[in-house]
Amino acid sequence: AAGVIQSPRHLIKEKRETATLKCYPIPRHDTVYWYQQGPGQDPQFLISFYEKMQSDKGSIPDRFSAQQFSDYHSELNMSSLELGDSALYFCASSSSGGYGYTFGSGTRLTVV
């Protein structure tokens, strides 16, 4: 069965650079979620999209932005990267009538 695809799997950036993470949800899933998991921490909700519109917002820094495109894939854009942005970033998708969440394998971002 198709899963949630995230790319890239690993990313190394320098401070003040920009990073773009991509997420391809499961076909026919209508909602995409982004989470950030710092080292030794639990995943924290950043933002979600329902049918390409932002549906909920969590503790997402102003330096970050996200959108969902017409083909339902989503991108998380992070600018002016800081050392503290080093984390595992997960994307998940779900459907209105579906059983629940499916997470991607995550993107490990390292800011040096």
Partner 1 sequence: AQKVTQAQTEISVVEKEDVTLDCVYETRDTTYYLFWYKQPPSGELVFLIRRNSFDEQNEISGRYSWNFQKSTSSFNFTITASQVVDSAVYFCALSEARIYNQGGKLIFGQGTELSVKP
Q: Quickly count: other Cβ atoms within 10 Å of residue 98's Cβ.
A: 14
Q: What is the nearest approach in angstroms of partner 1 to the Cβ of residue 51?
A: 7
Q: What is the nearest approach in angstroms of partner 1 to the Cβ of residue 108?
A: 7
Continuous H helices in 59-101: none
Binding residues for partner 1, rule: CB under 8 A, are 31, 33, 35, 41-45, 48, 50-51, 53, 55-56, 58, 88, 90, 92, 94, 96, 99-103, 105-106, 108
Instruction: Please identify which residue in the block is written with the tokens 């773009």.
Output: 20
Round to whole Å and give the CA distance between 76 and 49: 12
Which residue's CB is nearer to partner 1, number 84 or number 100? 100
> CB–CB of 95/31 below 8 Å?
yes
Q: What is the nearest approach in angstroms of partner 1 to the Cβ of residue 84?
A: 19
Which residue's CB is nearer to partner 1, number 44 or number 86? 44
Round to whole Å and give the CA distance between 41 and 18: 24
Q: What is the nearest approach in angstroms of partner 1 to the Cβ of residue 26?
A: 13
